Structure 1
Amino acid sequence: MRGRAFLGALALAAAPTAFAADPADFLVRIGEAARNSNYQGVIIYQGDDMLETMRVTHRFKEGTEHERVQSLNGDPREILKENNKVICLLPKDRKLTMNLPTPKALFPALSAERLQQISQVYEFKDLGTARVAGRNCQGLAIAPRDQFRYGYEIWADQQSSVPLKVSLIGRNGSVLEQMMFTEIEFPSSIPDSAFRPQLPPGETRQVVQMIENPPLPQQTGLAAAGNAGLRLDRLPPGYRVAFRELRPLPGGQGQVEHVVLSDGLSAISVFSAMKAAPPGNVQAQSVSQMGTVHAYRRMVGGFHVTVVGEAPQETVRMIGDGAKPAARVEAAAAAP
């Protein structure tokens, strides 16, 4: 999960009735509220065999979004964000990490196009109302229609629409990851000083530029799902190409292609690069897991292919097993 979003300050006094009629509107509201609202509070994140407690301060002012996340347990760490610019501050000699969860990491902002895509592979269920962090919330379950993806449960504040609790749900109904506010307030304004770091002098500081929201899918179908050297011949239902780029390998040793596949909610990355292996040679496969993230690696036709994402193991396997050299695919298509 680790990475998803929220929405504007529209009241949801009639939320239970309105939601039942239009879950899409509910999702759009929460997506906007997490970005367009001022709020500060304490969040607890549970997942990947860890427990993180964080103080979060978020502001939207004059079209600019600011966010500050401070770890309250473990090593002192901070993440400062201004729109898509990210600054990580961490103790000296500590490895740079981007895995401090934030409210925006809970759920992606959704456009009408993505909602249409989501409805094909997920179904919605009204969870009624409950209290989170002392506030009345409206709940929504997003359940997968097949075995290729996880589900979600979202509890959004009825007054602000900001999601206060989001859970990632496994196929057996178990909670795989969860992020929840334990206290929150919505100040009308937040001063600039609230976004200044407070780590002691001498701590390591690194600046990382990132794009938090990949472009919406512009291409569909299998023809768009690979480069001239490698094709992705089998995609799970609902997954489309959302983003792609070619990156140079270190030392000028060729290029690696990065393709992001999305079903509108979950995202899976496919990395492929030429390796010194005879064409058509398929070597041993391997599967690894870290929390809810699965990775599948294999060699095929001289390509080293890695499929990784927050999805069940069979999802990354299907994508990886469907990877074929483009020349072989074209030859098979041309055969009588």
Structure 2
Amino acid sequence: MKLKTIKATLTFLIGSVITNAFAANSCFEHFYDVQNMYTTNNFDATIAHTDSMGINLYALTHLYINNTPYTTWKSLNGELDGYALKGLKGIDFNKDREYVGAMLWHQSLIFDKIMHSQTILKNYECTLVGRTRISGRKVVVSKLSPVDDARYSFLIASDDETNLPVEMSVIAPSNALVTKFTVTAMHSVNAKNGSFPDDVFDSIKLNPKKDLSLAEIWPELTIPSYFALCDYGVQKMGNEMVDYLTFTDGLVDFRVYRNSKTTVMIPSATDGTISVFRKKDQFFEYAVAGEIPLAMSKIILSKIISNE
């Protein structure tokens, strides 16, 4: 190859790397702006949540008071239930049943997590897909993809003028659509007119921080390097106290349970973005539950040899 050709090839390759890096940086800057706009604005919205089970409608209220975001999701499909968030700490409620309690997961929680300005994306790539129209609004579409190809990807459409989210699709590692959130209506509200139950948040134990140095990650688990231990303990399930470990990648989390073997077991189940996978060995029964694809749950328990 001639020297001039080599120089031209190197110039092209270097230019491509710089262009791709610039595009990625621009995409993340745009995504962070969408996060900030969502977190710091005051609005009411109607959200259509679509998955394989059908469509669920929610009334969403989001307020930003004293540098703290408050979010309430209320189901519009039957019972008056839902959840409320202070930051990303949540409580479940059901007014029909007069129930209020600490929340672990919810089908629409992934929307709040990815839109929250304090959410950290570890080992994700960002691509500006382009511009289009959704419900008559001009939108910019971004794609967030995990570098490991084992977690969910996200397609986010944001309003071209306000940078507020219009639609978010969750994509499985197989490229299948898992679930989609579409904002069908949104209007600004006055934060002073909102009332949030700070006393209720304060009265419910919302998983206080523990000394993680005292916890041991069970050697029989295969935990991806980008997930870190964030909680551990014992949870009562029926008549038994079950050990658990909780891990997060800064966006989603999952919990691994270990308890004595039972005679009845459903190996796996999925509900939107939430999956459950169980496996038994000679001594214990394990369950992985959380906001991760079923394929990743299987990886986490891959070293466990089933004796079924």
TM-score, scaled to structure 2:
0.71
**Aligned counterparts of 1:68 and 1:152: Cα–Cα separation in 2:** 22
How far off is 1:295 after superposition? 1.9
Instruction: Classify 1:134/1:86 alpha carbon distance in 2 versus 1 (closer, same or farther; 3 Å).
Output: farther
Instruction: Describe the SS at the equivalent of 1:107.
Output: helix
**Aligned counterparts of 1:265 and 1:253: Cα–Cα separation in 2:** 30
Query: Is the CA contact 1:142–1:151 (under 8 Å) kept in the aligned structure 2?
Result: yes
**Aligned counterparts of 1:73 and 1:285: Cα–Cα separation in 2:** 28
The answer as to 2:170 corresponding to 1:183 is no
Match of 2:95 in 1: 90
Partner residue of 1:31 out of 23, 29, 35: 35
Map 1:249-288; keep pairs closer than 5 Å.
249=236, 256-262=243-249, 264-273=250-259, 275=260, 286-288=267-269
Query: Is the CA contact 1:80–1:195 (under 8 Å) kept in the aligned structure 2?
Result: no
Instruction: Describe the SS at the equivalent of 2:191.
Output: coil
How far off is 1:141 after superposition? 1.0
Map 1:33-112; keep pairs closer than 5 Å.
33-83=37-87, 84=89, 86=91, 88-92=93-97, 99=106, 101=108, 104-105=111-112, 107=114, 109=116
**Aligned counterparts of 2:110 and 2:254: Cα–Cα separation in 1:** 21
Match of 1:3 in 2: none
Instruction: Describe the SS at the equivalent of 2:114.
Output: coil
Report sequence identity in percent: 16
**Aligned counterparts of 2:68 and 2:48: Cα–Cα separation in 1:** 26
Query: Is the CA contact 2:91–2:100 (under 8 Å) kept in the aligned structure 1?
Result: no
Q: Deviations over 1:211-269 (max 9, x none)?
A: 6xx98xx99xxxx9x727x3244234x5322412112546996551222243x444332
How far off is 1:288 after superposition? 2.9
**Aligned counterparts of 1:68 and 1:265: Cα–Cα separation in 2:** 19
**Aligned counterparts of 1:285 and 1:67: Cα–Cα separation in 2:** 34
Q: Which runs of 5+ in 1 are unaligned?
A: 1-17, 198-206, 278-282, 325-336
The answer as to 2:216 corresponding to 1:227 is yes
Greater RCO, CA 8 A, separation 6+: 1
How far off is 1:165 after superposition? 0.9
Give the residue type in structure 2 aligned to 1:175.
L
The answer as to 2:242 corresponding to 1:240 is no
**Aligned counterparts of 1:307 and 1:153: Cα–Cα separation in 2:** 26
Give the residue type in structure 2 aligned to 1:240.
F
The answer as to 2:292 corresponding to 1:307 is no
**Aligned counterparts of 1:110 and 1:303: Cα–Cα separation in 2:** 40
Match of 1:293 in 2: 274
Q: Deviations over 1:158-206 (max 9, x none)?
A: 344322211001344332100011111234x2343x4479xxxxxxxxx
**Aligned counterparts of 1:102 and 1:321: Cα–Cα separation in 2:** 28
Q: How many residues align?
A: 274
The answer as to 2:123 corresponding to 1:118 is yes
TM-score, scaled to structure 1:
0.65
How far off is 1:37 after superposition? 1.1
How far off is 1:60 after superposition? 0.5
Instruction: Describe the SS at the equivalent of 1:148.
Output: coil
Q: Deviations over 1:115-153 (max 9, x none)?
A: 4x223xxx3321212334544322101234444222110
Match of 1:204 in 2: none
